[in-house]
Structure 1
Amino acid sequence: VYEEPGQGILVYDKKPESATKCVKIGGGIIGVANSKYSSGAWKWRTAITGDGVTADELTTGRIKGGNSYWDLDSGAFYLRDGSIFMTDSNGNRVYINATNGFQIYDKNGSIIAGTVLVGSTSMFRCNMVGTSSTNYITTGTTTSNHPGASFVNGSTEYCTIEAVHAKDSPTASSTDGVGISACGYGFLAVNRYYRQTWLTTPYYAGYMSHPDEQLYMKSGNSNAGGSAYVKLQENSNNYVYLDSSRADIGSSDTARILAPKFAIGTSPSSGGTYGYTGSTQFIGCITNNGNNWTWGTINVVNGIITGMSSITGN
């Protein structure tokens, strides 16, 4: 044990000239060293000062404070009513606690990802998920900031699902259905308020404009009124229309029905008028007191005569 002017009290494991370990007690400092620099000065690995404890290495089983501890033997890290907080140079913050789990906030204090507890239910929130910055799905809102989701591959938003609102709904901004578009061009709109499904070719951007080629189905007793019907059309002149009172085939050219047998009636299986397809013989007329006959064959397709031949004989 030595007292050295300007140094304080120094405790060596051997005489100073051959010592390998040293403890220093000086003005406001306790230092511990077990090696020296090439200059011969001691390398203080652990120091206790008024600013705190500086240590290059700690060997311990458990660090404990109050009801919280870090057990280095088992790896358990326990915080009672506490949180883990991290931040970066951009102001983004990460919180981990027992109340909400894991959350990430931006510099403005808005949550951008993480778990949120709603009652006893945990939800995961994230603006987008994916495998890369060019292959992802937005959540909650589309890339156009509408309620829904966008599927993005590279620079192409190849599929968008949006919540839609019926303009006739008395509830302002209510979600009444869903619209789906391919690369920004709507092709399917389904609405519960109108009880309708509208399927079109992806011709126009959005869901409000519809090309000529479309399939429209509507159920009765909808909030918007009107009867149920189904319409399949190529354009406004060429279509098939069905409702409870009629079945129409509209065409600006030729409407054809091709079938081995064609029936007209409310119940073809139990009766009605059938359009015959085939060939049959006929008698045209009988003259000369029954001595002269005209007969032949007619060809019929779905009740329509497509050709005939006649023979006059005795």
Structure 2
Amino acid sequence: MNAPEHAEWTFAASTFNWTPDIIAADRPAAEIVRSVVADGVASTIELEAGSVWRSFPEPSDAEVDALRESLAAAGGSVSTVGLSLDDFASTLRPRSHAERLAFLLPQLRAANQVGARGVRLPIGQAGRPLLDDLLPLLEQDDLTLYEEIQGQQAPSSPPVAAALETIDSLGSERVRVLVDVSLLMPALPVSYLERLATAGLPPDLLDRLGAEWSDPETGDAVVAFLRSGKVPASVHTLYMNLLIRFGRSHVDDLRGILPLVGAFHLKFWDLDDADARVSAPLADLGRLLRSAPHPFTGTLTSEWGGHEWLVDTDATAITRAHLALARSALTSTV
């Protein structure tokens, strides 16, 4: 499944793409994950612990073994397991340091048991004290912890910059950065804009979102309309993507942090690429990786976020098509 021009690059698919199918539970999660490999979409899989194991947050041996054996039988393997760190033991108090570590331990055990090479948390959530305690466990289980930046978490923003400094100060290859290319969005997804339009957003705001997404002042207009209280209830949750999940960074913003980066999420929403809004950021990323002083040897994982509004789209078909587009864009020398 690797691109022949860059055999050190591993292309993968995230089970997040099949979230609606997993929630529907018409088939066991292990069967859905196996089908990703059996159907030839990808042989390397990234798992979301909270969705593929119903015994989460303490995945049972039986569930973990069933998934590992099913995947192996189809010729597949696990790259990374997305962990969850619930920082509140109840609505009354945050978890203590010991409780946070205890919450992660069963998930780390499951990641090791399923044969994963890495685990994932949001950037900065763990914090230095927890990272210090996790390092020997990561060494013991031969795992790498990836802290993920995405959407509007620009590398230069103070919280992200502080977390990156913490990772760098650890001086360990066991803690790396995962970059979600939702940081690099020259334009919003066409299908997303169409969905907002059906909800009756003001035409002037829609025009601005469609033509001037990269302009920081567009972000100000988004916030102003939210504060007006006029966002239609039918798309209120969807509207929040404009504040969180869709970024305005440029690929050059990643150059300074490349030594810390061990993996990428190739986030996509739809495949409307008539103006290269999907492929252009990937082509830019490919050029950046090829020009880096040290070759990138990590995983590039297709992650589809558009199932939130493209509810009738087949996850297998769109992921297969996206991986083909991504391979072509990333390896293009044009």
Relative contact order (C-alpha < 8 Å, sep 6+): which is higher? 2
Regarding TM over 0.5, the answer is: no
Structure with the greater alpha carbon radius of gyration? 1
Give the TM-score, by structure 1 length. Answer: 0.20
- Select the structure that is richer in strand: 1
- Select the structure that is richer in helix: 2
